[in-house]
Structures are given as C-alpha cells and as structure tokens.
Structure 1
Amino acid sequence: MWDQSLGGRVAHTERYKQKRDEAMNQVRELKQQIQTLKEENSSLRQVNDQLSSELERLKKQTKL
C-alpha cells in the first residue's frame, strides 16, 4: 500500500466510504421494510383471530 500514490489511496478511501454509505442506506431501508412487515403481520393476525372466532361461533350455531 505504501507504493500507491496519495491520489490512489484517496480514491480507495472514497470508494470505501461510498460502499459503506450504500450499505448503511440499504440496512436502513431493510429495517424499515421489516418494521412495515411486522405491522402488517400483526394486523393480519388480528383479522385472522377475528375470523377464527367468527368461524367457531358459526360452527356452534349450526350444531344447535
């Protein structure tokens, strides 16, 4: 690395910083997607619970 010119080292550092920043942005986006999916999953679970309760109620009603 000592044989590289200062310009080469600066370019390498800039590429490293760019890749790092891109990776950090991607992680941030993925975390947002995960949060959105968790919220959607929770909502769907509530709907599923409501429908399951309604189904059980209807099953009991038809047995009468």
Structure 2
Amino acid sequence: MAPGAELCVTVEWSPDAAMRRDPVHWKMRIPATARALESLGYVVEPARFGNAHRFHPNAEFLV
C-alpha cells in the first residue's frame, strides 16, 4: 500500500470478448486505464500477478 494510503482496492479491467486475445488492444488499453484512474488522483500499481492477454481474460490494478 502506498505511504499514507487509507485503503487499497483491486480494480479489474476486462476487455470485450472479441478483443481478449488482441495484444495491441491490451498494450494500448491497460496503460490508458491506469492513466484514467491516475487523472482522478488515484495511485495505480500493477497487481502482483501478470496481466498477460494469452493467459488471463482480464488485468488487475491495485488502486
């Protein structure tokens, strides 16, 4: 948890089913999702487990 944080939650991002195996979509959307959360004042960290599109249907962030 970030210094001074009072709460840490897991945010799960899931692409549309048609895009789940598209590496370009993942490469663009995961950082865009993190930036959107950061623009609202949140601290965003990748979850400890991988977010590989080949193995997982979603990506997780710690916020």
Which structure is larger by alpha-carbon Rg, 1 or 2? 1
* Larger strand proportion of the pair: 2
Q: Work out whether the TM-score is over 0.5.
A: no
* Larger helix proportion of the pair: 1
TM-score w.r.t. length of structure 2: 0.30
TM-score w.r.t. length of structure 1: 0.30
* Larger RCO, structures 1/2 (Cα 8 Å, 6+ apart): 2
